[in-house]
């Protein structure tokens, strides 16, 4: 999730899709085990989710950066959030969350070729925050985040990066970064999950017709269906390289849970046949990540005031869209014993009674449907206390106190994730 989305492609593809039904979820589960040891029970990968119900993103902190023209200068506080503390993580735990996703941008913290040595202070800070999460008895997820966020950054899927030479350069850097991360956490227990990358795209969010700008000596172009096909294939290659690199380090990494995703981390890109799971030397240790913000006009920019078929009959991004996307993910992965994490979703704060009611309805519906499908939802919190565009924040990052309306949001998503009831009882405002 970028700090500011400069644009949004809402490609409305008219198709007749089958609606999926997910079983009702179970009741409250015990908290995950802490102490840097085993958090997951059971003998197959599906059982990995037994003690994971709902997570929270430490967004716009370790993933924050400044720079232009391809320069990425990470800084924990550059986007206005306070430095993360143990007290903040404890506050997140106290509200019922069991998993913390820690997005990390590496950028200029990666040294020059050929070693690509990671800045030790930055890596140690990541480890310190992972330690906070472990101390609180929660699961942690770390990744490579905005390094692949758009057309300018080094973890690129633009045309020039998909030549033989371009791939070789990215592969060397990508594998060096993951090798060092894996070495840093070689003795860290299974509460820590690695995620290969975030919403990988060329700036066009996986859609054709986007005018990819020139970067340095590379030419601008308008992407085509062939570009998207090549990007999908490249994502599969990078997922495989990620898995191979981490496993080769050994130690706890030999059997660590690894999180992989499709192009842009979009559900429809992930349940489709062109997304392939990597081969793995570990048995049943792969997890799949998706993000869900449909429609961003409602969830993120707040240009749309209401949501759902009752308020907007016939609108494409309604309850059926949730069922179609998450149901398809369930069919392809969950039903086959492959865990799925909805690594980002959310809805921004509203300042009207109607807006607040629809925000809660949207969040409860999506959380409940995901939970009923066996998908672990992880709320996107960027620390913003404002209303409207990008106002996703739940916690004051300095004090750990709840922001405006956050108690209501947390109440409905905890209910949806942890309690047994029929989704049909959730009524639109």
**Active-site residue set:** 199, 344
Q: Which of 71, 258, 235 is nearest to 167 (CA)?
A: 235
Q: In 185-277, where does DSSP find H-type helix?
A: 225-249, 267-270
348 dihedral zone (left: phi>0; alpha: psi -120 to 50; beta)? beta
Q: Do residues 276 and 212 make contact, with C-beta atoms less than 8 angstroms apart? A: no
Q: Output the six-digit token pair for 300.
A: 């993120």
- Whether a cis peptide bond, with omega within 30° of 0, leads into 114 is yes
Q: Count the neighbouring beta carbons within 10 Å of the beta carbon of residue 422.
A: 9
Residue 289, classified by CB atoms within 10 Å of its CB into exposed (0-12), middle (13-18) or buried (19+), is buried
Helix (H, G, I), strand (E, B) or coil at 423: helix
CA distance linking residue 386 with residue 400, whole number of Å: 16
* Helix axes of 86-94 and 120-135: crossing angle, nearest 10 degrees: 40
109 contacts 122 by C-beta, under 8 angstroms? yes
| Closest of 279, 379, 365 to residue 325, by C-alpha | 365
């Amino acid at each position: 999730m970028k700090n500011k989305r400069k644009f949004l492609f809402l490609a409305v593809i008219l198709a007749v899709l089958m609606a999926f039904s997910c079983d009702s979820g179970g009741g409250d589960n015990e908290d995950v085990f802490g102490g840097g040891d085993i958090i997951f029970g059971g003998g197959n990968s599906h059982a990995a989710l037994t003690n994971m119900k709902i997570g929270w993103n430490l967004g716009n902190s370790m993933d924050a950066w400044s720079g232009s023209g391809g320069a990425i200068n990470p800084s924990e506080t550059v986007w206005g959030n306070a430095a993360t503390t143990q007290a903040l993580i404890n506050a997140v735990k106290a509200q019922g969350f069991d998993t913390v996703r820690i997005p990390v941008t590496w950028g200029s913290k990666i040294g020059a070729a050929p070693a690509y040595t990671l800045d030790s202070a930055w890596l140690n800070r990541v480890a310190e925050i992972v330690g906070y999460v472990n101390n609180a008895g929660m699961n942690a997820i770390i990744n490579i985040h905005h390094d692949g966020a758009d057309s300018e950054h080094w973890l690129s899927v633009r045309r020039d990066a998909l030549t033989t030479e371009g791939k070789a350069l990215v592969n060397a850097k990508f594998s060096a970064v993951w090798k060092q991360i894996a070495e840093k956490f070689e003795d860290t227990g299974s509460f820590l999950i690695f995620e290969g990358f975030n919403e990988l795209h060329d700036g066009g969010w996986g859609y054709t017709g986007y005018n990819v700008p020139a970067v340095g000596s590379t030419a601008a172009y308008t992407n085509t269906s062939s570009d998207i096909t090549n990007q999908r294939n490249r994502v599969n290659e990078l997922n495989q390289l990620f898995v191979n690199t981490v496993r080769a380090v050994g130690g706890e990494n030999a059997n660590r849970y690894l999180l992989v995703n499709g192009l842009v981390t979009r559900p429809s890109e992930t349940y489709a046949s062109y997304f392939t799971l990597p081969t793995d030397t570990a048995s049943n240790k792969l997890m799949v990540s998706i993000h869900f913000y449909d429609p961003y006009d409602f969830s993120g920019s707040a240009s749309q005031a209401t949501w759902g078929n009752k308020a907007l009959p016939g609108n494409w991004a309604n309850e059926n869209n949730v069922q179609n996307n998450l149901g398809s993910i369930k069919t392809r992965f969950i039903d086959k014993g492959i865990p799925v994490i909805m690594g980002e979703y959310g809805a921004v704060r509203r300042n009207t009674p109607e807006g607040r009611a629809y925000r809660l309805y949207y969040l409860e519906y999506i959380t409940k449907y995901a939970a009923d499908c066996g998908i672990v939802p992880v709320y996107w919190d960027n620390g913003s206390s404002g209303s409207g565009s990008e106002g996703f924040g739940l916690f004051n990052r300095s004090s750990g106190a709840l922001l405006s309306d956050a108690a209501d949001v947390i109440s409905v998503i905890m209910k949806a994730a942890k309690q047994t009831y029929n989704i049909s009882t959730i009524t639109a405002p």
